[in-house]
Structures are given as C-alpha cells and as structure tokens.
Amino acid sequence: MARDVRELAQRSASAAKEIKLLIDTPNQQVQDGAQLVGETGNALQVIVAEVQEISRHVSAIATAFSDNAAIDGSKGQWQEF
C-alpha cells in the first residue's frame, strides 16, 4: 500500500512538472511575440519618418522645379525662364 502511495505521488509530481512546462512554454512564446510586435512597431515608426522625409524632399524638388520652369503652351515642352 505504501508503495502504491509513493508511485502515485511520483506520478502526480511528474504530471505537475509536465503541466508547468505546458503552461510556461506558451507564456514565453506570448512574451516573445509581444516583444516582436513592439520591435515591429518601432521599425514601422522609423519607416514612416523616412517616408515623410522623402516626401518633404520631393515637395521641395517640385517647388523648385515649378519656380524655375513653365510649360510652353505652343510646344508643350518644359522650358526654363
């Protein structure tokens, strides 16, 4: 009888360890996923800032171009003043 109790206790301890592992693994995966989401958000913010900077440069180029050129209506070509 005592041997049966010991075996049951060992199986219970083993099952508890397995359950803990089954719980801890997804928890770590969720934490890792949350970290990746944060890193992705940071990368997207950098991309947005860079696209905005490129947009400012394109606007500056377009403004400079329109300030320095006009369409010649008779020829349909760009000509400098």
Q: Give, in order, the Cα–Cα distances in Å from 78 to each of 22, 24, 33, 58, 75.
A: 70, 68, 54, 18, 9
State pLDDT tens for residues 9-53. 999 999 999 999 889 899 999 999 999 999 999 999 999 999 999
Q: Could you tell me which residues come within 8 angstroms of residue 80 by beta carbon, excluding any fewer than 6 positions away? A: 68, 69
pLDDT of residue 48: 98
pLDDT of residue 74: 47
CA distance linking residue 11 with residue 40, whole number of Å: 43
Model pTM above 0.85: no
